[in-house]
Amino acid sequence: MTAERILNALGYPDGQLSILIVDDEQIARLNTTYLNHAGPTNVISFPMQEGPFSDITPNLLGDVVISADTAHQEAADAGMETLERFYQLLIHGILHLVGYDHVNSAEDAKIMDEKSDELLNLIGKED
């Protein structure tokens, strides 16, 4: 339901995605295999709307993989509930699937942060 509200708010009411909750060991393997980064991370997105075959299933946005271990640790470090951190990571991953980016420019990062805050606020009001 939360992902559905996020997708609706972003203008993707028919968007489809998968959400995988894994441990640090599993996300570290994905991080190494697909991103050439060592060790665990909190969230990885695998967009399906890129590349030569993206038009085959236009509603399939991709996969969001979240490490429960890292989410829990980050929440504890920040003094927040694990569920709130999970929602932040879910939003972050979905934003990547629909084309937001924070890596290439500070301006893009600011836009993504603002949209993240807006969506987190929306979820908080509806829960």
Q: pLDDT over 70 for what percent of the chain?
A: 98
* pLDDT tens sequence across 40-57: 999 999 999 887 777 888
**CATH code of the domain in which 84 resides:** 3.40.390.30
123: three-class secondary structure by DSSP: helix
Is the model's pLDDT at 20 over the cut of 80? yes
Residue 80, CA distances (Å) to 21, 41, 73, 125 in order:
19, 18, 10, 17
Share the mean pLDDT of the chain.
93
66 lies in which domain range? 2-126
CB-based burial of residue 5 (10 Å sphere; 0-12 exposed, 13-18 middle, 19+ buried)? middle
Structure tokens at 113: 């942060």
Is the model's pLDDT at 97 over the cut of 70? yes
Q: How many residues does the chain have?
A: 127
**9 — pLDDT class (breaks 50, 70, 90):** very high
Residue 43 has φ and ψ, to the nearest 5°, of -150, 145
Q: How many domains, the chain? A: 1
